[in-house]
Structures are given as C-alpha cells and as structure tokens.
Amino acid sequence: MINQKKLEMAFKKYSKNFVDGIKFEDVKDKYNVSRRKIEKIVEQNETEKDHILLINLSKISSYHLSLWKNDVLISGGNNAEGLKNMQKVLFYQCMGQDLYTSRYPGMILGYTFREVVLTLVHFAMYGWEKEENILYDFMTHHFGEHLIDANEEDRHIWFLLELYLQYRNKTIMGTNKKLHLAVKNKFKEAELRCGSIPEDLNIYDEVLERWSTGDLEEIEHLISIMSQYHSALASEIGQLGEFGDFGYGFYPFEILFLIHVRKQLGLPVPTQFDNFLMNTPEAKMVFREREPYPEWDPVLQMIDQFYRKNYPEYIPNKHGELFQ
C-alpha cells in the first residue's frame, strides 16, 4: 500500500527544490557565465580549447531544466519547451562527445545511459523521427563502450528501451526480448562492467509480456501497478534509488510512453486516472501528434555551428539541418 501522506510530502519536497533549493536566478547566472566562455572560444575559433564547449553544455541543460520546472511543475502550465530543449542539449552532448574519442578517450561524459534512453523515447513521442534515428544509431554503435555505458541499474530504463525496440521493430545485440539479460550475459562474456544490470525487471517483466493486450481492463491494471511501483519509490525523493531524483522523480514518463505507443498502434488506453502520480502537472502535459521543435538556444546553436565548421566528421554534418 502507498503511504499517501508520505507521497504528498515527497511531492512538496520535489516541487520546493526548484523554488527554495535550485533558484532560477542562480542557474541563469551560471548559464550566462558559460555563454561568455563559449562566445570567446567561438569568436577566436580556438579549436585547441573546444572541449570546453562540450563541458559547458551541462549548464545549458540545467538552465532549460529550471525553465521546464518553472513553467510546468511550479506554474502548472503545459509548456514543454524547457524539457524539449534539455533533451535537445543531450542529443548534442552525444554528437560532440563523439569527436573526442581519440583526443580524450577517457573524458568524463556529460550524460548517462539513462538520459540517452529517456531522450530517445521522448523524441519518439514528439514525432522527431530524423533526430530519433540519429540518436538510436549513435547509441547502438557505441553500446557497451565508453560513450554508452549500459551498466544500468534502473529497471524502468530497461523496460523503456525494450518497449521502444519492440514498438520500432528494432534490436540491440540481436534481440528486443529480455534485453537486460542478453546485455548482461554479453557483457560478462566480453568482461565488461555489468554488475548493476538487474536480473529481473520486477513489475515491468509482466508489463512487457502483456503491453500490447487489446483488453482495456488489463492495461488499466498494468498501469495501476506501474503507478504504485513508481509512487512508492518517488516517496523516497532525495534518496539514492530509482525515481528518487529531483529531475524526473514525479514525472511518470515510462507510463506516458506506454500510453503513447498503444495510441499509435490503435490499442485502447485509459482516459482518466484516479491516483496522485498521474495527476501531477508533469504527468498531465499534453504532446501533439507531431510536436513542434523548440526555438534554438543561441548558445547551443553557436556550439553546433562551431563543430559543423571545424569538424567534417561531426555526425550532424552527415544529416543536414536538424531540429527544423
């Protein structure tokens, strides 16, 4: 059973973090400091220092995270521009990191496997097929390498990736069934780190078996147990663990993606929810069939143009204009 009072207190803590904890003015100041550094490197075309551009992308991401939280979580609106821009930054972190594999092979990454999977499924929800395919190709090309460290413990991430693969009829390591186990076994054979990959996906094992059911009552039941699982873990907000982070802790993207996939396939979906989690501002965001691209962040655009000009091998150069 969910402790409702504990859940609601955790949500207040989650919301207040972006009012009393992470203040938008402070995040904006850091963004502007990064902007000045980036402008100097770009204006002088300092290619020997251009890894600083990649490092500072995290400040741009933090800025848009705060914008999204203010627009949706704090104000209760439906403006997802901050979320979309944050995920767009993640895309360019991946594209930029690819350039430094030879120069700085052990360079600390500005993103995680978890964030790559989240961005991939959001691109699918937004209808951004071109960028989705580029990110998918990047992920599969580097899967298990330094750039895509898939030694991931969060069960919902493996659920999301497997559901995505089945929905798109794609595979990783030759499969889209019991992916976490296939990856764990392949990594063991290759003597790659795999100790964090779970042996089971808990409630998500059942959901993956039955996600395409045509029975509305059954999918309502599955979504209910997913909500309970997420809510119990989100109640521990601020603790290390699944759904304990302040970025996405009360944003049930794994449920929203399942609903999106079923809608796309013409399968019945619930139209209303009576639990706390699915009625939070982030859960109630509405995405269009083809979500418009956000306006370019001027600093991100500056970095993209710099890399396009100086590096012919830069992945976006092979694909023309993106996010247009």
pLDDT in tens, 222-234: 999 999 999 999 9
> pLDDT tens for residues 22-59?
889 999 999 999 999 999 999 999 999 999 999 999 99
Is it the case that residue 240 has pLDDT exceeding 90? Answer: no
> pLDDT tens for residues 156-183?
999 999 999 999 999 999 999 999 999 9
Is it the case that residue 15 has pLDDT exceeding 90? Answer: yes
Q: Using a pLDDT cut of 70, give the percent of the chain over it.
A: 100
Which residues lie closer than 8 Å to 34 by C-beta, 6 or more apart?
Answer: 56, 59, 60, 299
115 closest CA partner among 175, 56, 161, 81: 161
Question: Residue 193's pLDDT band (boundaries 50, 70, 90)?
Answer: very high
The domains of the chain are located at 4-318
- Mean of pLDDT values over 98-125: 96
Q: What is the mean pLDDT of the chain?
A: 97
- Mean of pLDDT values over 242-252: 95
Question: Residue 241's pLDDT band (boundaries 50, 70, 90)?
Answer: confident
> pLDDT tens for residues 121-166?
999 999 999 999 999 999 999 999 999 999 999 999 999 999 999 9
**DSSP H stretches of helix in the chain:** 4-16, 24-43, 51-68, 81-97, 113-126, 129-141, 155-168, 179-189, 203-210, 216-234, 253-264, 298-310
> pLDDT tens for residues 256-270?
999 999 999 999 999
Give the span between the Cα atoms of 111 and 229, in whole angstroms. Answer: 26
Least confidently predicted of 3-7, 102-106, 293-297: 102-106
Is it the case that residue 92 has pLDDT exceeding 90? Answer: yes
Question: Residue 82's pLDDT band (boundaries 50, 70, 90)?
Answer: very high
pLDDT on residue 1: 74
Question: Residue 89's pLDDT band (boundaries 50, 70, 90)?
Answer: very high
Q: How far is CA 274 from CA 29, 151, 233, 248, in A?
A: 40, 35, 19, 21
Question: Residue 239's pLDDT band (boundaries 50, 70, 90)?
Answer: confident
